[in-house]
Chain A
Amino acid sequence: MTLMKKTGLTLLFIGPASIFFILIIAYPFFSGIYYSFTEWNGVNAKPIWVGMRNFIEIFKEDSQFFASFWFTVRFTVTTLILTNVLAFTFALILIQPIKSRGPLRTVFFLPNVIGGVLLGFIWRFILVNGFGTIGELTNLQVFMLPWLGSPETGFWGIVIVYTWRSVGYLMIIYIAHLLNIDTHLLEAAKIDGASSFGMFSKIILPLSMSAITVCLFLVLSWTFKSFDIVLSLTAGGPFRSTETVALNIYYEAFSYNNFGIGSAKSLIYFILVGGVTMLQVRFTKSREVEV
């Protein structure tokens, strides 16, 4: 092949995807770093260099930004634990010889295919109107709380929706993984007199660390970037108590037109997300067991 032909083919094969990638991700990402150091008030306005001012302002004056970070972290950790425990439990049960397991898997997965905006609105109705009715019918205190009307109920509302939506997805991954575990190991352990709990904690769980890594990573990336469900469920309210970082950055840029500060916030956000992701993958990977 001549060099010219080779270059032509390379361009043909990797050219289109690379151009789109540079235009839509790479260039915006790097120019965003520059914009973090500017004052910039609108898409068409000219950014003016201000050095570290945006960062100083964020760290000194913007307590709401850190409140939204703290909210995101709390909500991420809670959801991470709830979804994985539930998904693992469902997976363990749904690999048993149960007649209804096919339809049950479908039911658990179903919420996952529906878009976040719709899910948020569905649950706004359930939490505000549905829960009220259930409360009247059953007299249970939980249902009569002012759902979505206080910071705590807002928090749990969002956790419920995310758990409802994510469990089925993780369950599929856990089922695929559990079916791959070599049953000889378990039989051998049984013959040696291991208890069910012993087999679970000493064999099944350690062998599942690779699937757990994947699932933790997935939930982390969903919840840490959560935007649309929160927007349609609580819009960050009441009193900005359920505002996630993604929502905070969105408001900063597109409601207040502070594009410079918005860029600075997204840079801080990127560094934290990247850091946490890398730590998490390294941590769970170090606990994986190879057989």
Chain B
Amino acid sequence: MIAQKRNTKVTIAEIFVILAALLFLAPFYFVIVNSLKPFGEILKNAASLPQVFAWSNYSNAIEKINFVKVLCNSLIITTLSVFLLVIFGSMTSWWIVRHKSKLTTILFFAFVAAMITPFQSIMIPLMRVVTKLHFVNTRIGLIIVYMGYSTPFTVFLYHGFIKSVPLQLEEAAIIDGCNTLQIFFHIVIPLIKSMTVTVLILQALLIWNDFLLPLLILSKKDLHTIPLAVFSFFGQYTNRWDYALATLVLGMLPIVIFFLLLQKYVVAGVRSGSVKG
């Protein structure tokens, strides 16, 4: 299956994937190139390079969607959510794995069942809960919703991993007189570090890019996250592609940089996050 060395077949295959890759990159070319053109030029020829660089598209976009504010909102919500998810998720998973009882078995089963439940099945009543608890238009409200909504997948990931962590170290710590909290925070947390990286990356991508929950919970403009700000921008300026494309480039920039810097971990996360359940 893997050719020992390069031969014609491999070369043909390589040309094929390179062409496919160029096709995959084409949308980025179109968006970036046109984001630097004045409006008229975009409509005249969307494929050419810009004749004059309309940098003002970007300053306009930054101002119109309040980019700095929106970026901060996305950062705050994502960082806090994943941080809390990792803490509570790992604690819960460890307890479920190490203390088998009816309660923990039912709990784990409920988490797995929740993973196949589409969001639309809870969306409508959830809005009632969110309204009653005064979560609407608060960042902390949205973060709490993520805590509930993303816990099942987090616990699921940790659960599979902790099962394979040998007990000896924890037993030795008990003999040495560590209490449960010390065991968890000093022994277990370092042992499950690699899964924590996976959880952080997968959940950060999901929460950063999530659209529907912010749409339902954060209607106030000051609280908008990136996807929400881009969406409401398009609602206002339909087909003003000169501003819109600059907005899109700005919107994808942070996550693309994040990916290119941490690529190794993202790919490893995808791999270990897809272990069959």
Contact = CB atoms under 8 A, between A and B. Distances in A.
B123 interface: yes
B27 interface: yes
A183 B1 contact: yes
A126 B27 contact: yes
Given A32-B124, A228-B227, A173 B145 contact: no
A289 interface: no
A73 interface: no
Interface residues of B, number: 96
Contacts of A134: 47
B126 A94 contact: no
Contacts of B236: none
B120 A24 contact: no
Contact of A221 (B30, B116, B122): B116
Contacts of A17: 88-89, 91-92, 147, 151, 155
B24 to A, nearest CB: 6
A254 to B, nearest CB: 8
B99 interface: yes
Contacts of B116: 221, 273-274, 277
A172 B271 contact: yes
Contacts of A231: 211
Interface in B134-149: 144-145, 147-149
B96 interface: yes
Contacts of A77: none
Contacts of B31: 122, 125-126
Nearest to B259: A113
Contact of B1 (A10, A90, A199): A199
Given A24-B147, A93-B13, A117 B120 contact: no
Contact of B234 (A23, A35, A232): A232
Interface stretch (B57-65, B165-173, B190-198, B262-270): B262-270
Nearest to A185: B1
Contacts of B122: 24-25, 28-29, 32, 266
B107 A116 contact: no
Given A173-B271, A266-B124, A93 B16 contact: yes
B230 A117 contact: yes
Contacts of B2: 95-97, 183
B164 interface: no
Contact of B34 (A90, A109, A125): A125
B75 interface: no
Contacts of B111: 21
B274 A132 contact: no
Contacts of B149: 24-25
Interface in B183-234: 184, 205, 208-212, 216, 226-227, 230-231, 234
17 contacts: A13-B91, A21-B114, A24-B147, A26-B114, A98-B14, A106-B263, A109-B267, A111-B24, A115-B208, A115-B252, A126-B26, A172-B271, A178-B1, A228-B211, A254-B216, A273-B117, A274-B116
Given A17-B89, A18-B92, A114-B255, 6 more contacts: A27-B129, A104-B18, A116-B227, A126-B26, A250-B123, A269-B121
